[in-house]
Amino acid sequence: MADFTGKRGLVLGVANRRSIAWAIAQKLAAGGATLAFTYQGERIEKSVRELAESVSSPLLTECDVRSDEGVERVFSEVGDAFGGELDLLVHSVAFADARDLEGRFTDTPRDRFWLALDVSAYSLVSAARAAEPLMEAAGGGSILTMTYLGGERAVPHYNVMGVAKAALDASMRYLAWDLGRKNIRVNAVSAGPVRTLAARSIAGFPTMEAIVEERAPLCGLPPLRRGAERHGHRAPRRLGLPRHGHVRNGAAATDVSGRADVELVAVPHAPRHAVHPQVTSLQALQCPVRRAGPCLQAGRLRPIP
C-alpha cells in the first residue's frame, strides 16, 4: 500500500462509484491522504457527497471548470480547508457533446469543438495555475490527469475528444516544464477503455472493450466488463510494483491491461508510447521528480531520453 499519510489532495471529476477518479481517490484515502472533492451540478451532488463522506472528506464543493472565477473559488476553499497548502491534484474532467462522439469528426461544429477543448484540456491549465501557490507553499506537489490513446491515434468515434486529449497531453508537458522548477510534477495516465458514465456516450464502446480484452498483454486477468461484477470493488493487485516508481515529470502513461482488478498499469512515454507494466497512477502521484525512467519497448528495457 502506497503511503500518503499527511498528504492533502483535491479530486476533480468524481461522478459516481464507477468513476476512475473515485478509484484513485479510494487508494489515496486508504494510504492516509485527506481529500477534498468537487462535483458538477445538482444532479450528481448526492452521489458524490455520499462517496466523499465515506472517506471523511473535509470539503465538497461545486465546480464549473469553464468559469475562472469558479475555479479560483474552489482553490480558495481548498486552501482554507488545508491550511493554505495542497499536495495532490487529480484532474479527471472531460466532456464532449454526445452527437460528436458518433459519425464523422469532420462534421464537428465550431461551438462544440471549443466546448470539448475548454472542458477537457484548458481545465487542467486553469486548475494547475490555481493549485500552484498552494503546492509551492507545501514545498511541492503532484498533478495527475486522465488521457487516452485517442489523443495520439485516430480511434473510431472518439472524434473531437481525441483532439481534446491531444491538447491535454501537450498542456501536461508544458505545465510540467513550467512547474517542475517548483518541485511540482505533472503527469497523465490512460486507464484504457473503462465502463464509466462518460464512456456510455462513445459509439462503439463495447467494441473498444473487446479489442483491448483480446489484444492486451496481460491477458490472463479477468476481463474488464466482467471483472467488476465478479470481484466487486476489491483492491487492485499491485503486480510486484516497487515502492517508488520512475515516472519522469511530464510523462504520459497508457494502460496495457484493460482489466478491472489491475491498478492502472501504465507506460511512461516521450514522445512515443512504450509498454511498462510497473508504473501506476499512485506512483505518478507519489514518486520524486526524475528526468528519466525505465520503459519496456520491443521487449527490451531502455532509458527514456
Inter-residue contact 168 to 124 (CB < 8 Å)? yes
The single residue of 39, 122, 158, 174 carrying the catalytic annotation is: 158
Inter-residue contact 85 to 10 (CB < 8 Å)? no
Inter-residue contact 252 to 187 (CB < 8 Å)? yes
Who contacts 279 (Cβ-Cβ below 8 Å, separation ≥6)?
Answer: 241, 245, 246, 247, 253, 265, 266, 267, 268, 293
- Protein fold of 8-303: Rossmann fold (3.40.50)
Supply the angle between the helices 123-137 and 68-81 in degrees, to the nearest 10: 30
Q: Tell me the C-alpha to C-alpha distance, in Å, between residue 76 and each of 47, 93, 178, 215, 248.
A: 24, 19, 22, 45, 29
And the C-alpha cell for 7? Answer: 498528504
Cα–Cα distance between 276 and 261 in angstroms, integer? 17
Each of the 305 residues of the chain gets a pLDDT tens digit; together they read 689 999 999 999 999 998 889 999 999 999 999 999 999 989 999 999 999 999 999 999 999 999 999 999 999 999 999 999 999 999 999 999 999 998 999 999 999 999 999 999 999 999 999 999 999 999 999 999 999 888 998 988 899 999 999 999 999 999 999 999 999 999 999 876 555 555 555 555 566 566 666 656 555 544 444 443 343 433 333 333 233 334 556 666 544 333 333 333 333 333 333 333 334 556 566 654 433 333 323 333 333 33
What is the predicted pLDDT for the residue at 156? 86
And the C-alpha cell for 27? Answer: 487508494
What is the predicted pLDDT for the residue at 149? 85
Q: Identify whether 39 is a catalytic site residue.
A: no
What is the predicted pLDDT for the residue at 37? 98
Only one residue has cell 482488478, namely 261
Burial class (CB within 10 angstroms; exposed 0-12, middle 13-18, buried 19+) of 194: buried
Instruction: Give the CA angle between residues 231, 285, 149 to the nearest 5°.
Output: 70
What is the predicted pLDDT for the residue at 241? 29
And the C-alpha cell for 20? Answer: 476512475
What is the predicted pLDDT for the residue at 202? 54
Pairing type for strands 300-303 and 294-297 reads antiparallel
Cα–Cα distance between 169 and 272 in angstroms, integer? 12
Q: Identify whether 174 is a catalytic site residue.
A: no
What is the predicted pLDDT for the residue at 2? 80
74: amino acid identity, one letter? V
